[in-house]
Structure 1
């Protein structure tokens, strides 16, 4: 099990990322060339199959078991009026997840993913990032390690989601701190705030970035100063997945923002990630472009929880079904192209 003893070990893990197995990628590409279809006829399904082969080290990769984890945390920045909902909704929604009543419960059941929920100190919100650090070093390490520990030993495909009232504000702050631009480039309506709430959110992001700009110099410090417990936990889980060579279906704006500091420290960090969808949150289109990821789906979602990633699981299953089960030209006695 991956565990980070201190910020230095986190940085060391991030600097030593494994790469896909090129022999398996080549074998998968050769198989695709022999299947009973014109070359490239299955579009991105072919790319997904080869991607999965490289990370699993197998010419014929499998999706199962698919694991979904929802991380939940509360944020001190909600005191700035940046959300349409009060912080207690986080606790209430965790209870809803555990009772099986949320959208992510329905969608993981539909796509055949096992779901777990990790609540991180919900009675103790992070610091208000407009005035102080979100977390101490110990708190950030704990969140990263809880995320890493959530990865199952047998998982072959991971998706992570989040629940945390106010968490699009630290996500926007992470984007502004790492990528630059104005707060207006990154803030969106999140849970459905009005124009006044959107203005307060932009002010909060500007204040947070200005306060921490001199200290947010690496991935760990950026997550610690501007993130949140569930955001750091997502980053820890996705890093643990990379170290275990497990592909990740990346969910929406917050999940994408969570890995942005890691990508800044290691530009190859997203190589094991597929962007599941582009959400309706204003900054997500720009963020995916900066990450160099093309989403599989555009459905106008803005729920979080990992819902967009769960909806993309059947696409991965379809890619692997065609790759593994289609006959080759020789097997089907079909004449190949001249």
Structure 2
């Protein structure tokens, strides 16, 4: 990363008509976005939210979920028809929404124009008894995620946020986070879509059993194998989407709990492949990402602290769907706008107190 560019950007930011640092996180965002796009005049073009949907075999047991598996397909139809929270926020902020069938246990036969069909399978297998998917399927899902983002970028988008839908996917995210961080499953296990105390205890016990069955403590540095054991098609596809978005120098917004788990998979892949691919100069994918919000889902704040990142918003949300990313998008635009449009002390003819010589 060019230290010269960083110095130029910081000088431009500091010379705007304001006290140094007075715009707080917006100044940090402007600097980060300029470095991502490698320019002192960044732009936001055709911002998108992409929601990946997939089913999880464990959800058929009811051991980790409050809602039946069928709700995944029902919510995808709600996205398609424009009735979900993410639809509302995307319309409000003029964001393009794309919904991806990564592996829903349903046939969307009407073939709506706003649904991307990339189905790897009709949901994963029950990882309580067998691996969730084959290694081949995990790789296929990652590649499809890369291709989807590549096509969106080719159409002119340079700013993207990812969301998800999948009954049971907080459990997959919990197992992934525990395996990669080495922290206990209990650190990340939450109520998901609304488990009561008894159901939460069952979920914790079930996930600890799964963790031990698949020896996940040995797979923290083997992201593809980890995905194949306990991942979801939507999580794998999102991981591929992150990798491609960073490769293309897009501005990437990370949503909530499951989206962060997918980023951790992507980051583990990036670290393993860094010597031959992606963007030189970035130590991890997190350098390239903007974290939209802190989810109320148990464990999300802990994982953000583990990653050493600070989210933009804290609204006690735990919906998923990319809603946090959609709400944070206007802040990204504001950071770019002040960098490009706000007058400098010199251009506005305003005295800069920091540059004045004190009276003798």
Query: TM-score, normalised to structure 2's length?
Result: 0.85
Counterpart residue number, 2:74 = 92
Are residues 1:251 and 2:267 paired? no
Counterpart residue number, 1:208 = 210
Between stretches 116-125 and 249-258, larger displacement belongs to: 116-125
Counterpart residue number, 2:128 = 130
Cα distance in 2 for residues equivalent to 1:293 and 1:223 = 24
What are the within-5 Å matches in structure 2 for residues 1-338 of structure 1? 20-78=1-59, 79-123=61-105, 124-151=122-149, 152-153=152-153, 154-213=156-215, 216=219, 217-264=221-268, 266=271, 268-337=284-353, 338=356
User: Structure 1's 24 and 111: CA in aligned 2 closer, same or farther, altered over 3 A?
Assistant: farther
Paired residue secondary structure (2:244) = helix
CA RMSD across the alignment: 1.5
Structure 1: give runs of 5+ residues left out of the alignment. 1-19
Please report how far the alpha carbon of residue 64 of structure 1 lies from its aligned counterpart in structure 2 after TM superposition: 2.1
Paired residue secondary structure (1:298) = coil
The answer to whether the 8 Å contact 1:111/1:314 transfers is: yes
The answer to whether the 8 Å contact 1:22/1:54 transfers is: no
Q: How many residues align?
A: 319
Structure 2: give runs of 5+ residues left out of the alignment. 106-121, 272-282
Please report how far the alpha carbon of residue 178 of structure 1 lies from its aligned counterpart in structure 2 after TM superposition: 1.2
The answer to whether the 8 Å contact 2:62/2:68 transfers is: no
Cα distance in 1 for residues equivalent to 2:36 and 2:47 = 15
Cα distance in 1 for residues equivalent to 2:2 and 2:193 = 41
Structure with the greater alpha carbon radius of gyration: 2
1:269-319 CA deviation, whole Å, 9 max, x = no partner?
211111100011011010111111101100010100000010001111111
Counterpart residue number, 1:15 = none
Query: TM-score, normalised to structure 1's length?
Result: 0.91
Please report how far the alpha carbon of residue 243 of structure 1 lies from its aligned counterpart in structure 2 after TM superposition: 0.8
